[in-house]
A and B are shown apart, each in its own frame.
Chain A
Amino acid sequence: MDAQGRGGRAGRAAGAVSGPALAVRGLTKSFGGLLVTARVDLAVEEGERRLIIGPNGAGKTTLFNLVTGELRPDEGTVTLLGRDITRVPGRRRAHLGISRTYQIITLFPRDTLLRNVTLSLLGRSPLRWNPLVRLERQGALIARAREALARVGLEHLAERPLAQTSYGERRRVEIAMALAQNPRVLLLDEPFAGLSIEERRDVLHLVTRIPRNVTVVMIEHDMDVALDFAERITVLHFGHVVVEGTRGEVVAHPRTREIYLGE
Chain B
Amino acid sequence: MRRLALVAALLALAALPLWAGGSFYVNIGSQILLYAVFALGINVLVGYAGLVSLGHAGLLGIAAYAAARLLNGGYGHLAAVAVALVLTLAAAALFAALALRGSGIGFVMITLAIGQIVWGVAYRWISITNGDNGISVSGRPSPLGLSLASPAHFYWATLAVFLVALGSIAILGASPFGASLRGTRDQPRRMAALGYHVWMIRFLAFLLSGFWSGVAGLLFLYYNQFVSPQGVALTASAEALLMVIAGGSGTLLGPVVGAALVVVMKNVASGYIERWNFLLGAIFVAIVVFMPEGLVPGAARLWRRATVAWTPRAAVAAPGGRPAP
Residues of A within 8 A of B (CB): 4, 68, 70, 90-92, 94-95, 99-100, 102, 106-110, 115, 118-120, 122-125, 127-136, 138, 177, 181
- Taking CB atoms, residues of chain A closer than 8 Å to B183 are 108, 119
The 7 A-B residue pairs whose C-beta atoms are closest, nearest first, are A94-B195, A123-B194, A123-B195, A131-B177, A106-B190, A91-B192, A131-B175
Which of B178, B190, B195, B197 is A135 in contact with, Cβ under 8 Å?
B178
CB atoms of B194 and A120 under 8 A apart: yes
Which of A4, A102, A109, A131 is B178 in contact with, Cβ under 8 Å?
A131
State whether A91 and B198 are in contact (beta carbons under 8 Å apart), knowing that A107-B187, A107-B190 are contacts in the complex: yes
CB atoms of A138 and B176 under 8 A apart: yes
Interface residue? B149 (CB, 8 A) = no
Interface digits, B170-202 against A, CB 8 Å rule (1 contact, 0 not)?
011011111110010011011111111110000
- Taking CB atoms, residues of chain A closer than 8 Å to B180 are 119, 122, 128-129
B18–chain A nearest beta-carbon distance, Å: 35
CA distance A122 to B194 in the complex (A): 9
Residues of B within 8 A of A (CB): 171-172, 174-180, 183, 186-187, 189-198
- Taking CB atoms, residues of chain B closer than 8 Å to A120 are 194
B206–chain A nearest beta-carbon distance, Å: 14
Cβ-closest chain B residue relative to A95: B195
- Taking CB atoms, residues of chain B closer than 8 Å to A177 are 194
B107–chain A nearest beta-carbon distance, Å: 20
CA distance A90 to B199 in the complex (A): 12
CB atoms of B177 and A134 under 8 A apart: no
CA distance A124 to B186 in the complex (A): 19
Which of B171, B177, B179, B193 is A90 in contact with, Cβ under 8 Å?
B193
- Taking CB atoms, residues of chain A closer than 8 Å to B191 are 119, 123
Which of A115, A125, A130, A135 has the most chain B CB atoms closer than 10 A to its own CB?
A: A135
- Mind listing 26 A-B residue pairs with CB under 8 Å? A68-B193, A70-B189, A70-B192, A91-B193, A91-B197, A94-B193, A106-B187, A108-B183, A115-B179, A118-B179, A122-B180, A123-B191, A123-B195, A124-B194, A124-B195, A128-B176, A128-B180, A129-B180, A130-B175, A130-B177, A131-B176, A132-B171, A133-B176, A134-B171, A138-B176, A177-B194
CA distance A134 to B176 in the complex (A): 7
CB atoms of A181 and B176 under 8 A apart: no
CA distance A130 to B204 in the complex (A): 12
Which of A70, A90, A119, A135 has the most chain B CB atoms closer than 10 A to its own CB?
A: A119
CB atoms of B177 and A129 under 8 A apart: yes
A26–chain B nearest beta-carbon distance, Å: 24
- Taking CB atoms, residues of chain B closer than 8 Å to A123 are 191, 194-196
Cβ-closest chain B residue relative to A96: B195
CA distance A129 to B195 in the complex (A): 12
Q: Apart from A94-B195, A100-B193, A135-B179, what are 20 other A-B pairs with CB-CB below 8 Å?
A: A90-B193, A91-B196, A94-B193, A119-B180, A119-B183, A119-B191, A122-B179, A123-B191, A123-B195, A123-B196, A124-B195, A128-B180, A128-B196, A130-B175, A130-B177, A131-B172, A131-B176, A131-B177, A132-B175, A181-B194
CA distance A135 to B175 in the complex (A): 5
